[in-house]
Amino acid sequence: MARIKIDLPEHFSFNIQIPIRIQDVNYGNHVGNDAILSIMHEARIQYLQSLGYKELDKVANTGLIMADVAMTYKGEGFHGDIFNVAVTAGDFGSFGFDLFYKITTTRDQQPITIAEAKTGMICFDYNTRKIMKLPAAMKAALEL
């Protein structure tokens, strides 16, 4: 069976710490795949805010939509862990870009990689309900 391979960049421009809550843990007693996606969403919102952007700008009626997601799981996360989520942008196109994520934690003074992921983000005009060009200013901010 073929496996997904995500080529992560060497440098990540943003990091955030997210504590694992009891509701992030599934019946296998570890962080569930749905919680990983939710953690990525929170990291994405914080990353965009750090650059002065929103995933949904209600004033301009523009935003970003996730076109695709790929994740690879590398280790288990548990209640009480604090995840470090590194985020950066890359693979820019006319209408969007990819966001890359590396999720790690430290346990017993050892670094543990939990997951690696990529989301394809597309610029969207909520007035016309159509995709729109990636604004040059946003691209410039994401490239830092």
Residue 101: pLDDT band (50, 70, 90) is: very high
Residue 81 pLDDT > 90: yes
The fourth-level CATH superfamily of domain 14-142 is: Hotdog Thioesterase (3.10.129.10)
Has residue 21 got a pLDDT over 80? yes
Which token pair is 3? Answer: 């496996």
42-80, pLDDT tens digit by residue?
999 999 999 999 999 887 778 999 999 999 999 999 999
Which sequence spans correspond to the domains of the chain? 14-142
Helix (H, G, I), strand (E, B) or coil at 138: helix
pLDDT at 110 over 90: yes
The three-state (H, E, C) secondary structure of 24-91, written as one string: HECCCCCECHHHHHHHHHHHHHHHHHHCCCCCEECCCCEEEEEEEEEEEECCCCCCCCEEEEEEEEEC
What's the pLDDT at 1?
86
Residue 107 main-chain phi, psi, to 5 deg? -135, 130
